[in-house]
A and B are shown apart, each in its own frame.
Chain A
Amino acid sequence: MFRKVLIANRGEIAVRLIRGLRDLNVASVAVYSDADRSSLAVRMADEAAHLGPAPSSESYLRIDKIIDAAKRHGAEAIHPGYGFLSENAEFADAVTSAGLVFIGPPASAIHKMGIKTAAREIAIAAGAPVVPGTEAPIRSIDQAKETARALGYPVLLKAAAGGGGKGMRRVDRDEELDAAIRDASSEASRAFRNGDVYLEKLVVEPRHVEIQVLGDHHGHMIHLGERECSLQRRHQKVIEECPSPLMGLDPSLRERMGAAAVKVARAAGYANAGTVEFLVDRNRDFYFIEMNTRLQVEHPVTELVTGLDLVAWQLRIASGEHLTIQQEDVRWSGSAVECRIYAEDPANNFLPYPGKITELVEPSGPGIRLDSGVYQGWNVPYEYDPLLAKLVAWGQDRDVAVARLKRALLEYKIGGIRCNVSFFVDILNDPTFLTGHFSTAFLDGFYARKKAPPEAPELEAVAALVAAISKQKPAAAVAAPAKSKWRWS
């Protein structure tokens, strides 16, 4: 095992990784930009290295500075977390060339799976089902029309180098195709500096279900089951769970999808933790869409249900150990549901709302896990993505997990900034959510579709009373922590 590891990331995932390292008695080196000097990760890590100014391009994306910091601090390996450089083959290569260990898959596997058209070809060669479509970037409108007609409308345009919904367009008719290609291609160029787009058949009302795989550098690979990720807003996941409610309808689905995922990962020469993403249609047929060659944001859901520590296994595998778990050893127990707590305002079209956290009460109690990267008094910077924390609940079944999650959300108080806690309370109270049967379209226009929540005159009266009294006696009102005369005991 390594003695010291550098974490090339920030926020909640940096904190999660520091904890994982400490559990294995490995020292941690955090990195930080000017905006993150006082972050929780820097506070918690054993050592910390400054990278540069706040913009990611001058700090968390600077390969040279990160490798330099690792060498200066005597780290033997680098964990990239998710986002930033985690799926950058050039970074993985540079780390290895510097004589350090990259905690993740080989650079060649990142490279292959990073180009969606190449990933599709690998999946097809491995015998995994893919969404019908072209495997090559569109070169002419005539060729695109021919392909679209052969697939049958509606079709979906996607960016070859893309992700996160950028460069993606639904097309329903021949006449829309030309403009849609131009739009999608220019959006893709701006986002990924690569304007190539390709066509797929649109899977109507799909569910997004992904499979966690884990493999060592000695040829052994297993899957750890699925995560249901259909609840998305603007193509970003907001709630994830395991098991997928689909498994209740067809218990063989996990085994079939798991086997397909392992085949794809093997074909890519994959090792370490990775995630194979699928769409599942109304007939429960599944199609490979892409592979995420890193630890996922939502990995705690799998950890709670399988009892396996994914970060610990990433470290063991990267240090050359054998993966000692066989497929038949993996057991799934109970149900876990995760909410991504974002600094955004559900009452104002989900606009970001960074700033100083003046109040923070974090939930706890039976079945609750909180992976957070913030503390009371910290100023959430506006330069990075808005994920503050992941709140995860485990229960012996989905109903219990959801009930615990709702209870924890009601305990969670984040003041000074705005966040989406109330949005999750509304989702968790929604009858369709509770049935477990929804598609990726479920959260589109969630509030527009919803009737106004029933009035609660008593709660409104409490709010009015507290506002008036706190205004009248400011001494007893919002107390800044420093001036507070209360003590937590």
Chain B
Amino acid sequence: MKYDVSVNGREGQLSVEEARFEYRGVARDYSIAASGPGIYSVLMDGRSYQATLLSPETIQVEGRIYFVDVFDPRELRARSLAGSHEGRQNIAAQMPGKVVRVLVAKGDAVEKGQGLIVVEAMKMQNEMKSPKAGVVAEVKASDGATVAAGEILVVIE
């Protein structure tokens, strides 16, 4: 089975068979065992590693944290498009928290770098800024709303 993966933003190919795998030049015999909730024991050519799934995409291996996306080629194309600042831009919350100020309304013209919305968590405020000049197409969150990290708050066109 072959996968396109991205580890900490770097894309590569992973090929996995029953007892052998290859990733970016590392080809090894392996065995994997689930050994607790979200904890995997991996043996690679006899060396033992412990990997913990902190979330489905966040994996800790020996004190290092890797953000891993596993996707099919169609998803990969959609991703690379999303990386640019062209076209419709979704402004997502960078942290979980509460919306304390909405600075723009639907239809407002905004400059690049202009503040759009402020999220507060744990006594810290985070102002989300517009990545480009454009028009506010949608404001999805209102004052006082509780939001999750990654939740889309504002759309700029």
Contact = CB atoms under 8 A, between A and B. Distances in A.
A, B co-complexed:
yes
Interface of A: 343-345, 347-348, 351-355, 358-359, 361, 382-386, 409-410, 413-416, 418, 421-422, 425, 453, 456-472, 476-481, 484, 486, 488
B37 A466 contact: no
A415 B54 contact: yes
Contact of A352 (B14, B30, B61, B122): B122
Interface string B9-39: 0001010100001011110101010101111
B44 A460 contact: no
B81 interface: no
Nearest to B126: A351
A462 B51 contact: yes
Contacts of B69: 467
A235 to B, nearest CB: 13
B38 A471 contact: no
A384 B67 CA distance: 27
A352 B58 contact: no
B42 A462 contact: yes
A484 B8 CA distance: 29
Contact of B63 (A353, A359, A414, A425): A425
B48 to A, nearest CB: 10
A463 B148 CA distance: 25
Contacts of A386: 122
Interface stretch (B95-103, B109-117, B134-142): B95-103
A468 B14 contact: yes
Q: Is the interface of A mostly helix, strand, loop or mixed?
A: mixed
Of A343, A348, A413, A468, most buried by chain B (CB within 10 Å of CB) is A468
Interface of B: 1, 3, 5, 7-8, 12, 14, 16, 21, 23-26, 28, 30, 32, 34, 36-40, 42, 44, 47, 49, 51-70, 94-98, 120-124, 126, 146, 148-149
A471 B97 CA distance: 28
B68 A345 contact: no
A356 B95 CA distance: 13
A457 B24 contact: yes
A465 B12 CA distance: 12
Given A345-B95, A460-B66, A466-B51, A382 B121 contact: yes
A456 B56 CA distance: 21
Of B1, B16, B122, most buried by chain A (CB within 10 Å of CB) is B122
Given A414-B54, A458-B26, A343 B122 contact: yes
18 contacts: A351-B124, A354-B97, A383-B122, A384-B123, A458-B44, A458-B49, A459-B64, A461-B21, A463-B61, A465-B42, A466-B40, A467-B57, A467-B69, A470-B40, A470-B53, A477-B53, A477-B56, A478-B38
A352 B149 contact: no
B118 to A, nearest CB: 13
Contacts of B12: 464
Contacts of B65: 347, 422
Contacts of B40: 466, 469-470
B97 A382 contact: yes
Nearest to A422: B65
Contacts of B1: 468, 472
A379 to B, nearest CB: 10
A481 B37 contact: yes
Nearest to B65: A422
A464 B55 contact: no
A463 B10 CA distance: 13
B23 A464 contact: yes
A382 B144 CA distance: 13
Given A422-B63, A465-B16, A466-B40, A478 B68 contact: no
A338 B141 CA distance: 39
Nearest to B14: A464
Contact of B38 (A359, A418, A425, A468): A359
B56 A471 contact: yes
A459 B42 CA distance: 11
A463 B16 contact: no
B154 to A, nearest CB: 18
